[in-house]
Structure 1
Amino acid sequence: MTQNIEAQGLLILIVPPSLEESLVDALLQQAEISGFTSSKVNGHGTVRGDAATLSIVEQVTGRQQRVQFMMHANIVDLKNLVSSLKSTFRSTDIHYILMPILEC
């Protein structure tokens, strides 16, 4: 039996709390995704290896507050979404991971 199912992917976005509302608004406008989840998370480490960009509190505690968004959809649609977000949120501290889904 052959299934003609488009490849699905999982997109994870990790953003500073200051971008949360703007990103929620942007994601809600995307017809290609049916929904997404968000949660408060902590980032550990430095920003691109530069500890000077961390606040004193972040340097002492070893963590930064972040918001994580997760969504799954067709991989092609997710790649297009990433391109759009890169353009819209240029020069912001957004980290993303896009990976294939074997089953969902």
Structure 2
Amino acid sequence: MSNDKEYLVTLNVPPGLEEAVVDNLLVLESEHGFSSYIVNSHDHKNEGLSLLEQVTGRQKKIRFQLYMPAQGLPVLLEQLRQEFSGSGIHYRVTPVIDSGTI
């Protein structure tokens, strides 16, 4: 187990922003890389949802996950805020207790 403080950053991104977010993350996060996959987002707010999304109660999003050392976290979040202000990207930062390869 490493002593360096590391975080898991999760971003839920509207599909139309997928390529722009990929481009930004490739510039900012080159050491560990990142993952992306399609998820269904469920929310009690119906703002910006199509009729189909309102009926089904789900909205497609692209989820990105990346590991980030503590010192890189402010840089990442500031860059995302500058590039994607008002875009509806939801993020979560979670401390990593342990990680590695088995």
Work out the CA distance in 2 between the residues paired with 1:62 and 1:83: 32
| RMSD (Å) for aligned C-alpha atoms | 1.8
Aligned positions of 1:18-57 closer than 5 A? 18-31=16-29, 33-46=31-44, 49=45, 51-57=46-52
Deviation per CA, 1:23-64: give whole Å up to 9, x if none: 001101115642000000000114xx3x24211111001000
> Normalising by the residue count of structure 2, what TM-score does the alignment of the two structures yield?
0.87
Cα offset for 1:20?
0.3
Alignment coverage as a number of residue pairs: 99
User: Following TM superposition, where does structure 1 have runs of at least 4 consecutive aligned residues deviating by more than 2 angstroms?
Assistant: 3-6, 31-34
Q: Which runs of 5+ in 1 are unaligned?
A: none
Work out the CA distance in 1 between the residues paired with 2:47 and 2:86: 17
> Normalising by the residue count of structure 1, what TM-score does the alignment of the two structures yield?
0.86
Query: How many percent identity over aligned positions?
Result: 36
Check whether the contact 2:12–2:61 (CA below 8 A) recurs between aligned residues: yes
Q: Which runs of 5+ in 2 are unaligned?
A: none
Q: Equivalent of 1:76, from 61, 71, 79?
A: 71
Equivalent AA in structure 1 for residue 67 of structure 2: H
Work out the CA distance in 2 between the residues paired with 1:31 and 1:40: 20
> What SS is found at the alignment partner of 1:10?
strand
Aligned positions of 1:61-72 closer than 5 A? 61-72=56-67
Deviation per CA, 1:55-93: give whole Å up to 9, x if none: 111100100000000000202312320111011111101
Equivalent AA in structure 2 for residue 78 of structure 1: L
